[in-house]
Structure 1
Amino acid sequence: MKILSSLNIGENNVERLEKKFDCVEFYMYKDIEQAGDHLEDAEIFVTFGFDTTADLIEKMKKLKWIQCMSTGIDMLPFETLKERNILLTNVTGIHGIPIAEYVMAVILNDRIDGFRLYEQQKNKIWKRKMNFEEVFGKTITILGTGTIGKEIARKAKAFDMKTIGVNTSGKPVDYFDEIFPTCELNKALSQGDFVVDTLPLTHETKKILGKEQFASMKDSAYFINIGRGATVDEGALIEALQNHIIRGAALDVFEKEPLPQDSPLWTMKNVSITPHISGLSNMYMNRAVPIFEHNLKTYIEGKEDYINKVDLNKEY
């Protein structure tokens, strides 16, 4: 059995896996370009997903399972996976802590107007007159109440914020004061001082936030997207920001990545941009590799208790 990896999972992890699974041949590379010689023989492919095209899968004649070491899988060629009946698993559940920390960092930076203070520091300006507003008592509306949304809500409660969640069913979830079903999305949006999008990209969530949704928000609302860029109608978001329909936005994901140089988002004073890094941390592989290790044991033993097995029809 041969496993091909197009990402670096760390030497210590590789050594442990090789000792534990001595029936497996591991071919671990840092990118897909280095892995060319072993494409045809690989039965299992470990990847972040960005390099996994339909053409690549066609070259992998013996491929039976893809372990995607990211949560986002919307870039994968699902039709090809279905045709070949390839097992797909991912690492959903590992991003809660780093992304929740990112969101709270954004909120607290907004709380002290951190970017303006840094500009004052660079220009040696001593100005103490600032319109600071506490996050105490503010409302955070979180779209998606899974691992990430729930961890954001837990941290927000530590700052005495009111937490509102939106999910498909409207069923209660820990750390949320109130939950709205997706059919009442606009009602939930209207209450948020901060609105956080944690949604995956599916047929149901594509451009779920458009002109009507931004109009439903408070004009003082601050929008944070750490979910998927295409869950937002980017044109409607730009219009809402330009016309001050909402106060501002912190964006880590975009419809097209890298964000095109000609996007007006780059130069907007009420927008903060980061290059899809909210889920990264020094603990990433410490959380991802055990999922792969469990799934590899399951695969070898012919069992079905996979962690995060993806439904190829639902694409999540």
Structure 2
Amino acid sequence: MTKPIIYLQRPFRAEWIEKIQQLAPEYTITTDLPTDLSQVEITVGWEKQNELALLNAEKLKWVQAISAGVNQLPLTQFAQNGILLSNGSGIHSESISEHVIGSLLAYYRGLIPAIIDQTTKKWAPNTIHYDQLAGKKMLIVGTGHIGQKLAQLSHGLAVQVYGINTTGHPVEGFNETYAIKNLAKIVPEMNIVVDILPSTEATYHLFNSSIFQAMKSTAVFVNVGRGDTVHTKELITALNADEFAYALLDVFETEPLPATDPLWQTKNVLLTPHISGLTVDFEHKFMNIFLANLKSYLKDHTLNQNQIDLQRGY
């Protein structure tokens, strides 16, 4: 009888494959594209080119996404086929939080123009904008794993931290939290607005001209969530009109960002190429999630970490 397959759609170190095999001896573990995709029951990662064949495989029961975002996956078909989905949420919380803090310090301490001046051997301390992060009010839009870690680190720098989530329910580490429907009412009070939202129908272009116009003229906007949560054209218009002071962007509606995109020429913006989630010892952190889920799946076909609600998309 043919063994069902656990298909790892990216390479992992041998030690992890051995641990998977120890937990699931009745399965074939492979990092190579299976000849017969109909035998795949569990897949780690999701490749678009194999999507149709996997969705038609009656044995496919669980997809463990590697990333935190799952908007690019066929959630409707997963729901129709009764396929479980879990993600890598929490793995990147430290890396993304440090990226946000680093970017904010680079802005407030004048490091960005200093780096530019260094390339031309220009000594111009009197032209560099500077401020302090301590005492600023930060609004974190998305109070999950990443938002909570960012709140923790920001408190250590004497930042006042507020949060936005779906209902406004309280979350440890935040001075106050508000429902997402109140976003436009809250942003005028904030010095920093950080977008850590997933991509869903409800969050599409949530950050648009009405939000940017409501922000302080001295405020900083950060996006490390998903690119399509921001209306890029209206963001560019707001920056060019000085409706707020600066944008720190790591994610974009189109990636890679085309060379012709006007963002490259927009003033008061720092662009980084979706690097905030790059994580030291990624495999160890990821496998902590996957192996815990594999144990519960093999026991009773449930997942105990990071299961996605396929209707909500997160």
- TM-score category, normalised to shorter length: over 0.9
The corresponding residue for 2:29 is 26
The corresponding residue for 1:258 is 256
Conservation of the 8 A alpha-carbon contact between 2:294 and 2:303: no
Query: How many Å separate the matches in 2 of 1:53 and 1:236?
Result: 36
1:85 aligns with 2:82: yes
Q: Which among 6, 9, 17 is matched to residue 9 of structure 2?
A: 6
The corresponding residue for 1:283 is 281
The corresponding residue for 2:171 is 173
Conservation of the 8 A alpha-carbon contact between 1:196 and 1:225: yes
Query: How many Å separate the matches in 1 of 2:274 and 2:308?
Result: 23
The corresponding residue for 1:218 is 216
Query: How many Å separate the matches in 2 of 1:66 and 1:260?
Result: 31
Code of the aligned partner of 1:2: I
The corresponding residue for 2:68 is 71
The corresponding residue for 1:15 is 18
Q: Which among 244, 247, 260 is matched to residue 246 of structure 1?
A: 244
Code of the aligned partner of 1:296: L
1:109 aligns with 2:106: yes
Give deviations 1:252-289, integer Å, cap 9, x for gaps: 11112222222111222311112222111112221111
Query: How many Å separate the matches in 2 of 1:173 and 1:299?
Result: 29
Deviation at 1:303, TM superposition (A): 4.5
Conservation of the 8 A alpha-carbon contact between 2:143 and 2:164: yes
Conservation of the 8 A alpha-carbon contact between 1:52 and 1:76: no
Query: How many Å separate the matches in 2 of 1:166 and 1:50?
Result: 33
Query: How many Å separate the matches in 1 of 2:61 and 2:301?
Result: 15
User: Unaligned regions of 5+ residues in structure 1, if any?
Assistant: 30-34
| Alignment RMSD | 1.8
Conservation of the 8 A alpha-carbon contact between 2:23 and 2:295: no
Identical residues among aligned pairs (%): 33
Deviation at 1:121, TM superposition (A): 1.7
Give deviations 1:33-73, integer Å, cap 9, x for gaps: xx1524232111110x4537642434544312111111100
Conservation of the 8 A alpha-carbon contact between 2:90 and 2:145: yes
Query: How many Å separate the matches in 1 of 2:169 and 2:289?
Result: 28
Query: How many Å separate the matches in 2 of 1:50 and 1:212?
Result: 37
The corresponding residue for 1:313 is 311
The corresponding residue for 1:199 is 197
Superposed, 1:228-243 pairs within 5 Å as 228-243=226-241
Give deviations 1:294-315, integer Å, cap 9, x for gaps: 1111222224343122222222
Conservation of the 8 A alpha-carbon contact between 2:250 and 2:272: yes
- SS at 1:297 equivalent: helix
Q: Which among 152, 161, 164 is matched to residue 162 of structure 2?
A: 164
- SS at 2:277 equivalent: coil
Deviation at 1:11, TM superposition (A): 2.7
Deviation at 1:134, TM superposition (A): 1.0
Code of the aligned partner of 2:42: I
Deviation at 1:131, TM superposition (A): 3.2
Q: Which among 32, 48, 67 is matched to residue 51 of structure 1?
A: 48
Conservation of the 8 A alpha-carbon contact between 1:162 and 1:177: yes
Query: How many Å separate the matches in 2 of 1:264 and 1:86?
Result: 40
Deviation at 1:172, TM superposition (A): 2.2
User: Unaligned regions of 5+ residues in structure 2, if any?
Assistant: none
Query: How many Å separate the matches in 1 of 2:39 and 2:195?
Result: 40
Which deviates the most, 201-210 or 211-220? Answer: 201-210
Query: How many Å separate the matches in 1 of 2:228 and 2:249?
Result: 12
Aligned length: 310
Q: Given the two structures, how large is their TM-score scaled by the length of structure 1?
A: 0.92
Query: How many Å separate the matches in 1 of 2:222 and 2:149?
Result: 15
